[in-house]
Chain A
Amino acid sequence: MTNHWIDIRNSDCIMIIGSNAAENHPISFKWVTAAQERGGKLISVDPRFTRTSSKADIYAPMRSGTDITFIGGMIRYILNDMQSLSPAERAQKYNMDYVANYTNAAFIINDGFEGWKDLAHPGLFVGFNGKNSEVPGNLGSYDKSKWKYSNASTPATDAAVVNDTWTQFSGLNANCVLRKLWENYEVFTPEKVEEVTGCPVEKFLEVCEEYAASGAPGKAGTIMYAMGTTQHTYGTQNIRGYAIMQLLLGNIGVAGGGINALRGTSNVQGSTDMCLLSHILPGYLSMVNHKDQSLADYISRARGGKYPTAPTGLHGDTSASWWWLSDEAQNYKKYLVSLLKAWYMDNANEANDFGFNWLPKVTSGHDYTHIGTFESIADGIIKGMMVWGQNPAVGGPDSEGERHSMDNLEWLMVADLFETETAAFWKRPDPESADETSRVDSSKIKTEVFLLPAACSYEKQGSISNSGRWAQWRYKAVDPIGEAKADLAIIDELMLKLKEKYADDNSIQAEPINNLYWDYRTSGEYAHEADPNVVAKEIHGYNVADGSLVKNFVSLQTDGSTCCGNWLYSGMFDNSDGRNKAKDRNPVDTSLNQIGLYSGWTWCWPINRRIIYNRASVDFDGQPFDSEHPVIQRSNGAWLGDVPDGGWAAINEAGFGSKYLPFIMHPEGVAHIWGPGRAEGPFPVAYEPWESPLEENLVTGVVNSDAAGKGTPGFNNPCCYVGNLEGWNKKGTPDEYPYIGMTYRVAEHWQAGQMTRNHPWLAELQPEVFAEIGPDLAADKGIDNGDKVKISTARGFVNAVAIVTNRMQRMTIGGKTVDHVGVPWHWGFMGRSSAFHSSGNILTPHVGDANTTIPEYKTFLCDITKV
């Protein structure tokens, strides 16, 4: 989240899209309800009429996977509206100072850029290479050299945009971002939106009008999204669409605004911050690549020529990203060296490059995400697997395929509260057998399985980071049951045993283990297992010489005198009194106008800034655009309110060369409407899901000509991850699988269900897997409410109970009748509430997003029959 949970209450208009927040984030509705009570409007956009929709002022249906068209249509509406107004009227309805000065809307881009409408490459931007050996799993890739700004070091801007004197987009510089944006979305008319998404024109316009009103200075609209947005082969571009719209409406950095990712579990934010992802190190530092032979190589590649490029012509003239990227500050090096010191301590020194080469390195072009990992298991590359807090046999895409691939493992370790489907993969139901009650022949599976009993959250202490980036310390309520241990205790014991085993091994492979610093035990309760408080202190950072806490990441050094496990969390402790601020519980809201920052309640990164990009919430004089909900405010040469995104003076107050632009993480200091960093293009374009009911992309006109079963560039996302292996990714066609399948969760169950399906009170509420279908489809297939049905895709089948409901509406897409079938994915074959052939993810494909490889769980082709 750019903002935080409580801040939702400050919103004038909340659009929940790609999320069923009432169902999956029930507590968020405390704040959604509070916003509605003070007159805020709630819009729900979803293929299903959900619990969220039931509370909405406006419900807009949308075919699963058509977010880009829906949002593109909204962007067109807003641009069209801006163009129809005189500059004076426009300034009343939209925050044009923000659009022109805090985003790259006014920037001039490279002359050689060609958009997707160019007849030479329909549906594709300039530079498409097709298949690329560097990224073998992707459908294709781009040469992005023509997506750059006109002048890389000091981009030019269009003065008519900066000064808001323009009247027509056609009158702007031909290479101006705002004009390119208009050209990109010109064809996304309300009629086109209806044709593609199934949302009726009137309903769509109602959404546009209501949401665009949040663009007025002093108003704020927020977008709450979750896996319905991300779990597509173009999930990143879905979010880019939200970001562009929010920037046009001046909604980023302000109270009640932002784009707010509702994280799927309580500590997903923490796990990404701490690098439970394959492409980063803790604190979002770049992952080490096999080409990085030294620390110097790494630093220079990680920064990759991303140097401050403050534009000309804007009110602000300086980018703050020197902080992140410059040679003089050397911050990247400070953070990495301090991380290496935390990991290798005394064994890391200047002479051995601080142990840089002990870090694991990734090989370019290989996919290390969930999908790639299971492909590697299937391929026999990965021979052993540790599974913590996951249940891929239920949660993984094409989960039958993933279960099958685990047959190749020599060993498998699962740490969990229960024997999960993953731990029991060797006695799974046999999908090939005509007898649906039979299991696979486990005598043919040689995998040795270790099941370690893990403690649950109430049985251990430590911090969790919520979606609002708050690190909150939780205490142990009860001791773990039986032999169960906290995850940290298990890792601690495992690591010490590994060090013992490798102690006499002088091979180069043993070096990272032998040189690893591992000393987390204290006394009493933690005499025989790692103390989370010691780990927390290391994450915050301290001076190696005397163990004294650093102040925050500003104190970190390049010479190895400091250690820090995650620079982003450096600041969690107060070095004056040694207090872990994640344990703070001051319930008093001291923010300006009590906008609900509660800055004394726990601690949030970075340096307790509750709303990031908050310098975009004020005008050039440092005064809030929204005086009712001021996040920060300049007063007598000081900032009041939240911790500002850089403490420099307001733009008008500062001298030439010190007028800092608000988006400090970007080299150019402004937010990206033009976003050339993504794999598939600087603007989102409509793509069809990997499995689509259509023959033609109704926006780009590209016809599905996929004979190989991999995808068609321009019909599908041209860069999506489709994998390499034969046998995976069986692709269904609409003639055989005519309906759109989608998976989701219910309030009563948690993820892959091991914790909730074993709970009698929760199993009572949602006892078995169901399939939601509309009355039209039910009538066509002779299915009555409560009937047993079989849902099948090219990859497998699920048996479920039919819920026939008006909440699933038939749509007409491009003249074709389209029905959705919805299946929750919580169930499996183990535990109290369980059944054979009940996991929704048996249906989903093993393909992923072009940038993140997140699986396309949310849209696929299926069939449904009455059993």
Chain B
Amino acid sequence: MSDIAILYDASKCTACRGCQVACKQWNDLSGDVTTNRGTYENPPDLSANTWLKIKFIEPEGELRWLFGRRSCMHCTEAACVEVCPTGALYHHELGFVAYDKSKCSGCGYCVEACPFDVPRSSSGAITGIRHANKCTLCQDRITNDQIPACVKSCPTGALKYGDRSDLLAEAKTRVSQLKETNSKANLYGENQLGGLHVLYILEDSPDVYGLPEDPKVPATATVWQNIIQPVGWGLAGFAVLGLGLNYIIAQRKIKMKSEGE
């Protein structure tokens, strides 16, 4: 089976946020009480209730309004899958990072390992059991001949869903068209982390959108998945794991601080 993907074309996005609402509707996620913080952007961050949000970017001192998308990038080399001790996060045969909530132990390693800072964990209101939450690429829809809810709601065609290879070709054509008037236009996600299953057409460099130019899976995550886990749950493993995860957490905290809101 060939890989699928979502293509987000920022140059066509009007930030109407139909996608953001459609995501909440389909996945039955509640709305948070927010405040206006001097921006149209809300809620302030991804959360257990918010798996997709649109970013509003006004580059300092310029008369531009760029719109970006924050959600799971569905990496091929996925740190979250690497660190997940229970197999709750795994690669679906269609290539995206699927999630089986029933298997999630709520360890939170994925939250810390993700180079895009996407998964969030929360406790159930009644059970108190912790679970991770993130975009599932509407696995329940796409495996039933439906397109993802966000794509379905998009009025302009800024979001598309289909075979990754087709979307990649389409994106390249689009980028070359955009480059005629905007030399900064670029495609993001073709090769990052072995190829993302959410591809972005951007109007400026990735850092303007808050995206890492060259995202990496933390080394300790690889160690965990490829070395420790096969060895089994030995004491030594726990020790290494503890150290490693401490390192990842520290790195993430530093990164998140620098990114701000």
> Which of A151-159, A533-541, A762-770 has 4 or more CB atoms under 8 Å from chain B?
A762-770
Q: For residue A802, which residues in chain B have a CB less than 8 angstroms away from its CB?
A: 38
Assembled-state Cα–Cα distance A730/B47 (Å): 48
CB distance from A717 to the nearest CB of B (A): 32
Assembled-state Cα–Cα distance A45/B40 (Å): 21
CB distance from A194 to the nearest CB of B (A): 17
Question: Does B14 lie at the interface of the complex (its beta carbon under 8 Å from any beta carbon of A)?
Answer: yes
Assembled-state Cα–Cα distance A801/B38 (Å): 7
Contact A54 B42 (CB under 8 A): no
Question: Does A671 lie at the interface of the complex (its beta carbon under 8 Å from any beta carbon of B)?
Answer: no
The CB with the most chain B CB atoms within 10 A, among A49, A764, A785, A803, is that of A764
Query: Interface size class for chain A?
Result: 35 or more
Q: For residue A49, which residues in chain B have a CB less than 8 angstroms away from its CB?
A: 63, 65
Query: A15-35 interface mask toward B, CB cutoff 8 Å, 1 = contact, 0 = none?
Result: 000000011001101101110
Question: Does A701 lie at the interface of the complex (its beta carbon under 8 Å from any beta carbon of B)?
Answer: no
Contact A806 B42 (CB under 8 A): no
Contact A807 B14 (CB under 8 A): no
Query: B79-103 interface mask toward A, CB cutoff 8 Å, 1 = contact, 0 = none?
Result: 0000000000000000000000000
Query: B8-44 interface mask toward A, CB cutoff 8 Å, 1 = contact, 0 = none?
Result: 0001101111101100110000111111111110110
Query: A743-757 interface mask toward B, CB cutoff 8 Å, 1 = contact, 0 = none?
Result: 000111000000000
Contact B17 A765 (CB under 8 A): yes
Q: For residue B58, which residues in chain A have a CB less than 8 angstroms away from its CB?
A: 805-807
Question: Does B191 lie at the interface of the complex (its beta carbon under 8 Å from any beta carbon of A)?
Answer: no
Question: Does A786 lie at the interface of the complex (its beta carbon under 8 Å from any beta carbon of B)?
Answer: yes
Q: For residue A26, which residues in chain B have a CB less than 8 angstroms away from its CB?
A: 14, 16, 18, 155-156
Of the candidates B40, B67, B157, the one whose C-beta lies within 8 Å of that of A766 is B40
Assembled-state Cα–Cα distance A55/B203 (Å): 11
Also in contact, A761 and B25, with CB within 8 A (given A27-B155, A30-B157, A801-B36): yes
Assembled-state Cα–Cα distance A801/B37 (Å): 8
Q: For residue B63, which residues in chain A have a CB less than 8 angstroms away from its CB?
A: 49, 59, 806-807, 809
Question: Does A315 lie at the interface of the complex (its beta carbon under 8 Å from any beta carbon of B)?
Answer: no
| Residue in A closest to B36 when the chains form the complex, CB atoms | A801
Q: For residue B259, which residues in chain A have a CB less than 8 angstroms away from its CB?
A: none
Contact B21 A767 (CB under 8 A): no
Question: Does B61 lie at the interface of the complex (its beta carbon under 8 Å from any beta carbon of A)?
Answer: yes
Question: Does B147 lie at the interface of the complex (its beta carbon under 8 Å from any beta carbon of A)?
Answer: no
Contact A768 B35 (CB under 8 A): yes
Assembled-state Cα–Cα distance A96/B11 (Å): 37
Question: Does A633 lie at the interface of the complex (its beta carbon under 8 Å from any beta carbon of B)?
Answer: no
Also in contact, A748 and B155, with CB within 8 A (given A760-B31, A763-B31, A806-B63): no
CB distance from A329 to the nearest CB of B (A): 44
The CB with the most chain B CB atoms within 10 A, among A27, A33, A54, A784, is that of A54
Assembled-state Cα–Cα distance A408/B31 (Å): 40
| Residue in B closest to A767 when the chains form the complex, CB atoms | B34
Question: Does A853 lie at the interface of the complex (its beta carbon under 8 Å from any beta carbon of B)?
Answer: no
In order of increasing CB-CB distance, the 9 nearest A-B pairs are A760-B31, A786-B38, A785-B38, A764-B31, A22-B14, A54-B65, A26-B16, A801-B36, A761-B31
> What are 14 A-B residue pairs whose CB atoms fall within 8 Å in the complex?
A26-B14, A29-B156, A30-B156, A30-B157, A746-B40, A747-B17, A762-B31, A764-B34, A765-B42, A786-B38, A787-B38, A801-B37, A802-B38, A803-B39
Give the A-binding residues of B (Cβ under 8 A): 11-12, 14-18, 20-21, 24-25, 30-40, 42-43, 58, 61-67, 155-157
If A26-B16, A30-B156, A34-B157 are given as contacts, then 16 extra A-B residue pairs at C-beta distance below 8 Å, sorted by A number, are: A22-B16, A26-B155, A29-B155, A29-B156, A55-B12, A55-B14, A747-B17, A760-B30, A763-B33, A764-B42, A766-B36, A766-B42, A767-B42, A785-B38, A802-B38, A804-B38
